[in-house]
Structure formats: C-alpha cells, structure tokens
Amino acid sequence: MGFLDEIKQRRTFAIISHPDAGKTTLTEKLLLYGGAIQVAGAVKSNKIKKTATSDWMEIERQRGISVATSVMGFDYKGLKINILDTPGHQDFAEDTYRTLTAVDSVIVVIDVAKGVEPQTEKLVKVCRMRNTPIIVFINKLDRPGKDAFELLDEIEQKLNLKVTPLSWPINMGQHFKGVYSIYDRSLYLFEPGKQHIEKGVAFNDLSNSELKNYIGDDAKILSEELQLVEGVYPKFEVDHYLDGSICPVFFGSALNNFGVKELLDCFIEIAPTPIGHQTSARFIAPDENQFTGFVFKIHANMDPNHRDRIAFVRVVSGRFERNKPYHHVRLNRKIKFANPTAFMAQKKSILEEAFPGDIIGLYDAGNFKIGDTLTEGELLQYKGIPSFSPELFRYVENADPMKSKQLAKGLDQLMDEGVAQLFTGKSSGRKIIGTVGTLQFEVIQHRLLHEYGASCRYEPITLYKTAWITSNNKEMLADFKARKAPYLAFDKEGRDVFLADSPYSLETSMEKYPDIQFHFTSEF
Ligand code: G4P
C-alpha cells in the first residue's frame, strides 16, 4: 500500500469521561467489534478504585495495566484504529492532558443520569484549546436519567460546545425502546440483555403510522421531539465537526452494546485522518516524506531492577523504520531503535515500520522526556505539550543524607516522566514538588524508595498557585523580582516562576505589574 493510503487508513482517538461514566465498557465494546478481543471483560479498568487510593499493590497493579492498555489498536472495515487510553483518576489528569496532544479526535462519554461532571469539564476544556473534533456519547440509557433536551443544554452550557444530536432516545430506563438515528434515518430497537441489535429499520417519514407498531405510544412523542430537534439544532456538517465548532451526539448503552456499532460506523466515516502539528520552526503535514514524531508519555517499566522505560511517540509525518538512526533534537544526537513496539489491543509486538497517526513505544534508558522530538535531522521541536500550573505543593527534603545523589537522579527522572513538576526556590534553594493530585506525592515517595533507593520527606508549604513569568519590560520585571524575591523559583528548565501564596497575592501582583505576563501553562 502507498504511503498516502497508509495515512488515510488511520484514525487515532481517545475516549474521555468522568470516572464511572462507562469509558472502559465502551472501549471494550469497540474492541469487540474490531475483533481485537474475543470476550467481554478482557479490558481491565485502569481506574484506581476510590476505596484503594493508598493501596500500593493496587497502584502497582494499575501501572502494569495501564502499559497494556495505553494504546489499543485494531482493524475495522479496512481502517487502522488506535484508541489511546487515558487514566480515569483525576490525580492523573495531567497524563490525560498530554495524551490528548497525541490524538486527532475524542469521544466524550457522559452518564445520562449524572450529566456533565467535573472531570469531563476539565478534559473538554483541554480539547477545546486545540479545536479537537469531539463526538459525545450519552451512556446508560437503560437507566433513568435526565431529559435529553435538558442534557444537551447542560452540555452546551457547561462544556461550551455546540451540539447536534445524530441519534435520539426513545424513552429511557425501564421504558427505553431504542434510538432513532438521525444520521441514517432509521429506527434501532433495544431489547434488554441482548448483546447485538437488529439492523435498523429505515424510517424516513416519522409521521408514518407504522412507527406505532414498533414503539407504541412513544411514536407520537418521538416525532414531536424530532421536529423540535430539527428546529433547534443545526444540520450536521462534517466540516463543522472537523474544525471543532459542532459536536454530534449519540445516545446508547455501552453495557448493553446498544448504539455502539452505530457510533463506530459513523465515527469511521467522519473522524479525521492524522493531522499535522506545529513545531518551533514550521507546521509539519502528515504526508511529508521525512519522519518526525514527539514523545507524549513516558512509562517506567514494571521491573524495579531495571530502570528502563517506554517512551510513547506519536508519528506525525513520514515513515518510521526500525533500526534507522533518528535525530534526537534536544540531545542533538542520532539514536537507533532496535525494538520499537506496536500496540495492538492487549498485545505488544516489534514493528518494522510505522506511519502518521501511529503510536510507537521506544525502550529508553533515560534519553527521553515529555515533549522530545525525533526527526531525520531537521532541527525543530514539537509544541503544544504543556504542563499546567499544579494545584498542590509540598517541600521535598532528603530523608537519607547518604542517598542524596539517588534522590536527585530519581526526582529528575520522575519529573522527565511528567509525574509532577519540580521548582527550586530562588533564595531558599529548597525544592518544591507541585502536582494535580495528592496521590502523586505518595507515588513519588514510593517510587523513589523502590526504584532509586532514595528516601524523601515532605513538608507543608503555603502556596496557592505557580505562574511562569515573562515580560518585555525589563525594568518592571527587575522590580518585581527584587520585591518578590522570597516568592520566586526556577522550574526544571531554569525559567522564572512566581509562587503566589494566595489568590489575593496573585491578583494584586497582576494588577500592579501590568507588563508582566503570568502564564498558567508552561507553553507560552
Ligand atoms: P469508566 O471506565 O468510565 O470509569 O466506567 P466503566 O466502563 O468502568 O463503567 C462504570 C460502571 O458503569 C460499571 O459498573 C459498568 O458496568 C457500568 N456501565 C457502563 N455502561 C453502562 C450502561 O450502558 N448501562 C448501565 N446500567 N451500566 C453501565 P460497576 O458496577 O461499577 O462495575 P462492574 O462491576 O460492572 O465492572
């Protein structure tokens, strides 16, 4: 197959949701359609159960699972589909944000009873920053839930998305009859407990009295509701979905495998083929001949005796080949990869070549950090893999003076993996770890001990937020730095960071120093 055909075949996306909305269940059903797994229950949920937040065995077990399910590739109707897994637990949200830089589109799963939940809001916000095309799947229609119109309103308001339904539910909960597909103008009937649905019944005209034979008195309500839908929501246009300005919405029940095949069949028709990415030098299109790619995730290997890791690389352009030397731009040196890994659902295998849209796993003994770029020699760096200003902070102190080197190395590598962010106080020299969840502090302490033989201790710090600061007004910047000296730090790259100890201190600083830019993501 030609290079361009290889690109056109690929669809790389992520399923995102608030925990428990049904992401794992939906993923599993999609894999079943692709023949990638044979039985339900084969995909282990990678969520850390709420009851087990400080259970180490659980976290270690989850780390193992999350390598296996990081990327689940499968073939469907002649297309190569890659689903990128995202951790459900909110303490690992930063991981999810980065994974979203490596996908071309997303499916958002929403629980019909719970509606839009906080984690969904955060994740969709990140997608909106890049205009990532979004399909919404409203799940659990076999249970009682919110009214469909009310739910669509909530999505528009809370997620700031424009939506248009491509299917419409006929009742819900115990009385759920199925959905009418606005996309292919057919009726799909639901039978509880049945794991596949009959082919849709074509129904172009909903005033047709035969509709009643299928769904009884719900026929009248359905045709009235659909009239309203047509009046209120815009007609679906693929281009508007692709530029992120409209999101099609589907209704179904992942557990009952209802509405999933329709979702998948529509997805493969409308979802984007691999997109290009902006670099520090220029925009790179996927069909350029030379290979380029970037590291969006690093996973420490499971064997604590070997400190090797897997770097996950998204291929952006060209053809990646095994054993061919590629240029590691940050280190400015050539590296060859003897055992690059392809991820098919639940299986890993050595790959000979990979194409734009693919995710490859590269074994790494410490050469990579998040955001690193590989090319065939061109000096450019992929952009758009930001770190967000953390939300929780603690001082980290060495608890074993004999192991300070180990501690420094361990912290360095864990930060390269993107587990947390490290800041060094400018005047105090003290190290501060910033995370998005409390769990990371425990993970860091545990991994430092078990993988690096280093012990650390945390001490509290009063810190509300960090902001990277820049300014063209040198005088103002110098004045700010002099006055705020105790509140300044460096990040790992040596950039200036302001440590705001309260919302008030941040607000007044921003007011008093209008020429200073306060950045809350690391890319500016
Ligand atoms: P997540 O990955 O988004 O966290 O959600 P997951 O798929 O694990 O689903 C969360 C719970 O919701 C699971 O139940 C799952 O069986 C259930 N579920 C998913 N889809 C549907 C649906 O369409 N209808 C109904 N009624 N339930 C659904 P659980 O009891 O928490 O776990 P399990 O013991 O069933 O695995």
CA of 243 to the centre of ligand 1 (A): 31
- Helix axes of 23-33 and 260-270: crossing angle, nearest 10 degrees: 70
21 lines ligand 1 (CB under 6 A): yes
Query: Is the beta carbon of 25 within 6 A of some atom in ligand 1?
Result: yes
471 shares its domain with 404: yes
Q: Which atom belonging to ligand 1 lies closest to the Cα atom of 253?
A: 23
Same domain assignment for residues 266 and 282: no
CATH number at residue 422: 3.30.70.3280
Q: Say yes or no: 75 and 27 in one domain.
A: yes
pLDDT of residue 440: 84
Alpha-helical segments (H) within 50-208:
56-68, 93-99, 118-129, 148-159
Quick check: 393 and 440 in contact, CB under 8 A?
A: no
What stretch of H or E contains 475? helix 474-483
Residue 261 sits in the same domain as residue 163: yes
Helix (H, G, I), strand (E, B) or coil at 205: coil
Secondary structure letter of residue 480 according to DSSP: H
Q: Tell me whether residue 52 is in a domain.
A: yes
CA of 37 to the centre of ligand 1 (A): 18
Q: Which residue's C-alpha comes closest to atom 29 of ligand 1?
A: 20
**Who contacts 367 (Cβ-Cβ below 8 Å, separation ≥6)?**
311, 328, 331, 335
- Is residue 13 included in any domain, yes or no? yes
**Same domain membership, residue 140 and residue 32:** yes
Mark whether 298 and 399 lie in a shared domain: no
Q: Give CA–CA dist 65/73, Å, rounded.
A: 16
**88 CB near ligand 1 (under 6 Å):** yes
Question: Which residue in 25, 43, 6 sits closest to 344, CA to CA?
Answer: 43
Judge if the beta carbon of residue 253 lies within 6 A of ligand 1.
yes
Same domain, 371 and 471: no
Query: Does ligand 1 lie within 6 Å of residue 139's CB atom?
Result: yes
Ligand 1 binding pocket includes 22 (Cβ within 6 Å): yes
In a shared domain, residues 434 and 477 = yes
Examine residue 145 and state whether it is found in any structural domain, yes or no.
yes
Atom 6 (ligand 1): residue with closest C-alpha?
Answer: 22
Residue 111 Cβ contacting ligand 1 at under 6 Å: no
C-beta of 17 in contact with ligand 1 (< 6 A):
yes
> How remote is the CA of residue 359 from the centroid of ligand 1, in Å?
28
The H helix count followed by the E strand count for the chain is 14, 31
Q: Is 87 in the pocket of ligand 1 (CB under 6 A)?
A: no
What CA–CA distance (Å, rounded) separates 74 from 347? 11
Q: Flag whether 229 is in a domain.
A: no
Q: What are phi and psi of 364, to 5 degrees?
A: -145, 130
Q: Are residues 23 and 147 in the same domain?
A: yes
- Ligand 1 atom nearest the C-alpha of 26 is 7
Ligand 1 probe mutation, 23, 24, 25, most atoms within 8 A of CB: 25
Does residue 214 belong to any structural domain of this protein?
Answer: no
The CB of 299 under 6 Å from ligand 1? The reply is no
Residue where a domain terminates, one of 270, 296, 314? 270
User: Is residue 299 classed exposed, middle or buried when 0-12, 13-18 and 19+ CB atoms within 10 A define those classes?
Assistant: middle
Size of the chain, expressed as the number of residues it contains: 524
Handedness of CA 377, 379, 383, 387 (dihedral sign): positive
Shared domain for 285 and 240, answered yes or no, is no
Q: Provide the H-helix boundaries in 55-189.
A: 56-68, 93-99, 118-129, 148-159
Q: Are 385 and 101 in contact (CB under 8 A)?
A: yes
Please check whether residue 192 lies inside any domain of the structure. no
Tens digit of each residue's pLDDT (9 = 90 or more) over 194-208: 666 566 788 877 777
Amino acid at site 302:
M
DSSP 263-275: HHHHHHHHSPPPP
Residues 337, 463: one domain?
A: no
Q: Look at residues 232, 263, 330 and name the one whose alpha carbon lies nearest to residue 105.
A: 263
Query: Is the residue at 196 inside a domain?
Result: no
Question: How many whole angstroms separate alpha carbon 199 and alpha carbon 445?
Answer: 54
Q: At what angle do helices 56-68 and 438-452 cross, to 10 degrees?
A: 90
User: CB atoms < 10 A from the CB of 153, how many?
Assistant: 15
Cα of 231 vs centre of ligand 1, distance in Å, is: 34
Where b means 16+ CB within 10 Å and e means fewer, 209-234 reads eebeebbeebbeebbebeeebeeebe
Tokens 């009859």 belong to 177
**Cα separation of 411 and 424, whole Å?**
12
CATH code where residue 366 lies: 3.40.50.300
- Residue 370, Ramachandran bin (φ over 0: left; ψ between -120 and 50: alpha; else beta): beta
Alpha-carbon distance of 341 to 362, in angstroms, equals 6
Whether 23 lines ligand 1, by a CB cut-off of 6 Å, is: yes
Let me know if residue 166 belongs to a domain: yes
Angstrom distance (rounded) from CA 270 to CA 98 = 24
Residue from 92, 255, 260 whose mutation best tests the ligand 1 pocket (most atoms within 8 A of CB): 255
List of the chain residues with pLDDT < 70:
36-69, 88-91, 194-199, 301-307, 344-348, 524
- Of all atoms in ligand 1, which is nearest to the CA of residue 46? 2
| Phi and psi based region of residue 388 (left: phi greater than 0; alpha: psi -120 to 50; beta: remaining) | beta
Which residue from 18, 20, 195, 256 has its CB within 8 A of the most atoms of ligand 1, so it is best to mutate? Answer: 20
User: Within a 13 Å sphere around the CA of 391, how many CA atoms are in the beta-carbon half?
Assistant: 10
Q: In the prediction, which pLDDT does 105 show?
A: 98
Residue 20 CA to ligand 1 center (angstroms) comes to 6
- What string of H, E and C letters represents the secondary structure of 290-342? CCEEEEEEEEECCCCCCCCEEEEEEEEECCEECCCCEEECCCCEEECCCCCEE
Q: Whose CA is nearest to atom 26 of ligand 1?
A: 140
Placement of tokens 């596949």 in the chain: 196
Which of 316, 348, 375 terminates a domain? The answer is: 375
Q: How many angstroms is it from 173 CA to the middle of ligand 1?
A: 15
| Residues of the domain holding 287 | 277-375
Residues 336 and 451 in one domain: no
Instruction: Among 244, 270, 296, identify where a domain stops.
Output: 270
Nearest CA to ligand 1 atom 4: 20
Can you give the pTM of this predicted structure? 0.86
Q: Is the CB of 140 under 6 A from ligand 1?
A: yes
- Structure token pair of residue 198: 């009959």
**Six-digit token pair at 480?**
């700010």
Domains in the chain, number: 3
**Dist. CA 140 → ligand 1 center (Å):** 9
